[in-house]
Amino acid sequence: MPQLLSTSPQRTFRDPAGSVEIRPDGAYRHVHPTYAADTLAFLGLPVASDLVTSGQLISSEVLEVESADDTATQPLLLHHPRVSFPSYPWEWSPAMWLSAAELTLTLCADLLKDGWILKDATPLNILFQGTQPVFVDVLSIQRADLNQPIWFAYGQFVRTFLLPMLAHARLGWPLQVALTRRDGFEPEEIYAALPWLKRLQQPALSAVTLPLLLSKRGTSAAATTPRTQRDPELTRHILLKTLASLRTQMRRATPSQHDSVWSDYVNTNNHYSAEDHAAKQDFVRTALIEAQPLQVLDVGCNTGLYSNLAADAGAEVVAIDTDLQAVDRLCTSLQGSGRNILPLCVDLAHPSPATGWQNRECNSFLARCAGHFDTVMMLAVLHHLLLRNQVPLGHIATLCSTLTTRTLILEWVPPQDPMFQQLLRGRDDIYTHIHEAAFREAFAEHFTIHREVTLPNHRILFHLLKRPVTPNTTSPANA
């Protein structure tokens, strides 16, 4: 179920069992009377407490059990804490997709042991706290029919988890396609694009080729309807085998990490000397100590060197980069570390838009950022926005002022810098207006300089403070 996040409360609507509205102090879940008793029964079980304690399941506080005419069914209101910064599958790296998939399968297996099961299985049921996935849709949990040895969410898991990953690994389709494919892919779509040999290799053979061949044979509904089992333990065994098989297929589909243009940038760049590196890290570390940030956005995080410095300073960090491999490496390096760093594949020049019904189910990246970060780091990013994306300095300065509520740590790369020249590609005449004086003038409208340092390689580091917003007291009556 998509997590609706908006400043004005609006309820989700896709699940007949209930709805969620997000407010500043948390998520409020209204449970339909028909499902209230089962929801309370599950929340009262030790397995529910264990899953919350382990961080796998969002916690639920029962706020209200309203009276009803029919005392057998009572409406229910739950309160869940807000996950600090919501993210969506189209912003995740492969490691995060796999982590979300494995949580879904593990959670379902744990529930089965106590006679419960997941009724649906979509990445939109998962949010991340750092790199720790959290299952947030309590109403996806229902009592299991232990006479029925089939997981009815199997097809949805395949369409929304397995096939997107398979298409990414085998066909190069971007995972960001999930933005417009809420219900995932059908096997025939992947089959048509796969070379013949890959159709016969796992996991494509089980998830794509065989289902498609069976459907072409016109197998009757009666023949495909699973037989009921009168042995609950046998049913559990069959279902657990199904979940284990999906886990294996998901792991096989997930591609191994490989080098990209930027994934090893920190170790291979030659325009930074050891002295430059040390001075830059000292500057950023000092700026973070002075700022004492709570929430940091690291734009152009690469593999997370400065994101980790921000985490060391006690901040929660959202780290974004356009390079999927760099983000994936950062995610893998953070898993199990306990650091509260959320790595996302986001292009600040083309940030994730709002999507879903009326563009109101899933908020845009910039809407989620609004008012959230007290500190933003943009180190060696500005020249990419200026030259690669052709965004004017004034527009960038304005965006920076909306992203941070207090502090901006910025790196200015001068036109003579090798990386600036590489992006310039001989278009000197077009970009003669980009120079240090213009930069200072544009950012002075929104920020004051707290401190600056020029590195030996002539790059300049700035610790900027946001100017107070002066309210406009002029009214039409006294203008």
**356-374, pLDDT tens digit by residue?**
999 989 999 999 999 999 9
- Is the pLDDT confidence value at 217 over 60? yes
CB contact at 8 A, 146 and 115 = yes
CA 51: distance to chain centroid?
21
- CA of 79: how far to CAs of 11, 14, 63, in Å? 14, 19, 7
- SS3 for 410? strand
Q: Return the CATH fold of 265-466.
A: Rossmann fold (3.40.50)
Compute CA 131 distance to the chain's CA centroid, rounded to the nearest angstrom.
Answer: 9
What is the architecture, at CATH level 2, of domain 18-253? Orthogonal Bundle (1.10)
Which of 7-16, 187-196, 235-244, 328-337 is predicted least confidently? 7-16
Q: Is 249 or 266 the better-scoring residue by pLDDT?
A: 249
**Residues 6+ away with beta carbon under 8 Å from 410:** 377, 378, 379, 382, 400, 443, 461, 462, 464
Task: In whole angstroms, give the CA distance from residue 24 to residue 403.
Answer: 18
The region of weakest confidence among 347-351, 358-362, 428-432 is: 428-432
What is residue 2's predicted lDDT score, i.e. its pLDDT? Answer: 44
Which alpha helices (DSSP H) does 2-43 contain, by range? 33-43
CA distance 240 to 151: 10
Other CB atoms within a 10 A radius of the CB of residue 199 amount to: 19
Q: What is the pLDDT of residues 286-329, one digit of tens each?
A: 999 999 999 999 999 999 999 999 999 999 999 999 999 999 99
In the structure, what pLDDT confidence band is assigned to residue 5 with cuts at 50, 70 and 90?
Answer: very low
- Three-state DSSP class for residue 446: coil
Q: In whole angstroms, what is the distance from residue 341 CA to residue 362 CA?
A: 21
Considering only CA atoms, which of 324, 310, 267 is closest in space to residue 92? 324
pLDDT (tens digit per residue) in 129-154: 999 999 999 999 999 999 999 999 99
Q: Is the pLDDT of residue 75 over 80?
A: no
| pLDDT at res. 215 | 83
User: CA-to-CA distance for 238 and 112, rounded, in angstroms?
Assistant: 11
Mean pLDDT over residues 244-258, rounded? Answer: 92
d(CA 4, CA 362): 5
Composition of the chain by helix, strand, coil, percent to 5: 45, 20, 40
Q: Are strands 76-80 and 26-31 parallel, antiparallel or unpaired?
A: antiparallel
Nearest alpha carbon to residue 191 among 210, 178, 172: 210
Q: How far apart are CA 360 and CA 46, in angstroms?
A: 36
Radius of gyration of the chain, Cα coordinates, nearest whole angstrom = 25
Mind listing the pLDDT tens digit for each residue in 261-278? 544 555 555 667 889 999
**Contacts for 172-181 with beta carbons within 8 Å, 24 or more apart?**
175/89, 175/90, 175/92, 175/93, 175/94, 175/97, 175/324, 175/345, 176/90, 176/91, 176/345, 177/90, 178/88, 178/89, 178/90, 178/123, 179/88, 179/90, 179/352, 179/353, 179/355, 180/355
- Please give the pLDDT value at position 68: 46
Provide the pLDDT confidence category of residue 8 given band limits of 50, 70 and 90.
very low
For 179, other C-beta atoms within 10 Å of its C-beta total: 17
Task: Say which range, 134-148, 189-203, 243-257, 262-276, has the weakest mean pLDDT.
Answer: 262-276
Element (H, E) at 285: helix 274-291
Task: Evaluate whether 173 touches 149 at the Cβ level (below 8 Å).
Answer: no
Q: Which of 183, 218, 178, 161 is nearest to 87 (CA)?
A: 178
Q: Where are the domains of the chain?
A: 18-253, 265-466
pLDDT at site 65: 66
Per-residue pLDDT, 9: 47
What is the separation, in whole angstroms, between the first and last Cα of the chain? 50
